Chain A
């Protein structure tokens, strides 16, 4: 009896081993996380958040500026991008006590799709520029600038300040105007940009090894400083980059 039980068990085990799990049916579902899921929002989670939120609200729910109308981030040119690049341009000239040809900011470095109409808080500027990116000044030849702008054109356009205009044709930068003059391949131009890009980020490896002045100024602090003197946030689409 015992022997046969053992045999049976071994037999069953052996055959059960050739069994596998088949996937018979698969269903997918996505839940929108909105007020309907908040009927009894987890109290333990809210408790956990509260002390952090209190501390942050104190520092961040401070108005720093005002948008007359909503400012969007779009390609190839946008109101939000123009405002930001111009703010960096203006502040950089003051901080570094020099004249620059233009400022630029990588598109992906703007981390919100728009600034809403109305009052803008300090926290919103943190969301716009959460990175600890620092301002870098570079002097680049016209040839290098052309290469840089071709890269930007291929990516669909980045925010640039008022000193620069160009067209995107076949993913290349054409009719480049710097401070109202056609680009000169042999001239050197002074530009400011985030260290992330100067260090080769967003596939800008052609900038690596180029001479640069890395400053201690955070792009975010530059924007906040600019706002303290210019709290009205506004910009126009003026054909800086067209396609």
Chain B
């Protein structure tokens, strides 16, 4: 393509973008592409592996090992997202002594793309969380905590969009009801908003306005409960635009993702990776760029266990 034609192409794109026909960022859209999502939750300040004391988790976990594993996957895969679902803090003296500084530094070093906020991330108070923010070079995503009357105002975002291998991925975060779980002195004037409402509202923004191809919710609501408390299962069933829910709070070890139908009967994946960094979760999604009703390689969302 000569230079003149290139300029014209760009011009045409701009005109069409103005008319709302193409996504704002008309970047390269490969015919097939693969996204690798790595996730953790409820790390609870477990920096070192569990000691060899006869317990079920003895010898498991440890950030240095996890980092090595992540590095290895990054060498094998081109398009990786590394995400965490909250309760980064609290559980070992590392938090009591250093307030979460090392946890955030290590996550930054491992190049986490985003995390949401768990109830225990308030354990040193909202000021304690705020104090550690300079050590985190990844965004904290939370769509249902209104921090406007707190020191955390404008320190978090409801969502962020990542572009990987031509795919636009919208990631947003949801936190658990804090009342009755975290002392009010610690959360200050944080306002809790209905997670399902927020999920539907941000889901619409991400899929329709931001033209995301895939939407991930980082949730600290918990996988499911015997009671009516809002959970990841409720979230999947009562929303429209969420493709994948990565969960936390209930410390659930899942061998494979749960699949729940959403409001449009479309499948939503729910996955959670235990706790304490004992396991690292991975989900690979293959995509095909094709006309809306045409897909050569599509399977009916068959989940294969690795």
Contacts and interface: CB of A to CB of B under 8 A. Distances in A.
B129 interface: no
B66 to A, nearest CB: 5
A18 interface: yes
A142 B6 CA distance: 83
A127 B45 CA distance: 10
Contacts of B66: 33, 37
Contact of A45 (B63, B213, B269): B63
Given A6-B8, A21-B289, A30 B29 contact: no
Contacts of B254: 30
B110 A45 contact: yes
Contact of A42 (B26, B67, B288, B306): B67
Contacts of A46: 64
Contact of B180 (A6, A9, A22, A201): A201
Interface in B263-306: 269, 271, 273, 277-292, 295, 297-299, 301-306
Contacts of B67: 41-42, 44-45
In this complex, the interface size class of chain B, counting residues with CB under 8 Å from chain A, is 35 or more
A22 B109 contact: no
Contacts of B285: 23, 25-26
A52 B103 CA distance: 11
Nearest to A16: B29
A187 interface: no
- Number of contact residues on A: which range applies? 35 or more
A31 B55 contact: no
Contacts of A17: 16, 21-22
Given A30-B282, A116-B53, A24 B91 contact: no
Contacts of B123: 131-132
Nearest to B67: A42
Interface of B: 4-5, 8-9, 12-13, 16, 21-22, 26, 29, 32-33, 45, 47-49, 51, 53-56, 59-69, 71, 90-98, 102, 105-106, 109-110, 123, 166-167, 180-181, 183-184, 213-214, 243, 253-257, 269, 271, 273, 277-292, 295, 297-299, 301-306
Interface of A: 2, 5-6, 9-10, 13-14, 16-35, 37-42, 44-46, 48-49, 52-53, 55-56, 59-60, 70, 111, 113-114, 116-118, 123, 126-127, 130-132, 195-196, 199-203, 205
Given A20-B291, A24-B288, A123-B93, 13 more contacts: A13-B16, A14-B21, A18-B291, A21-B166, A26-B269, A33-B65, A34-B59, A41-B65, A42-B68, A48-B102, A48-B105, A53-B48, A201-B183
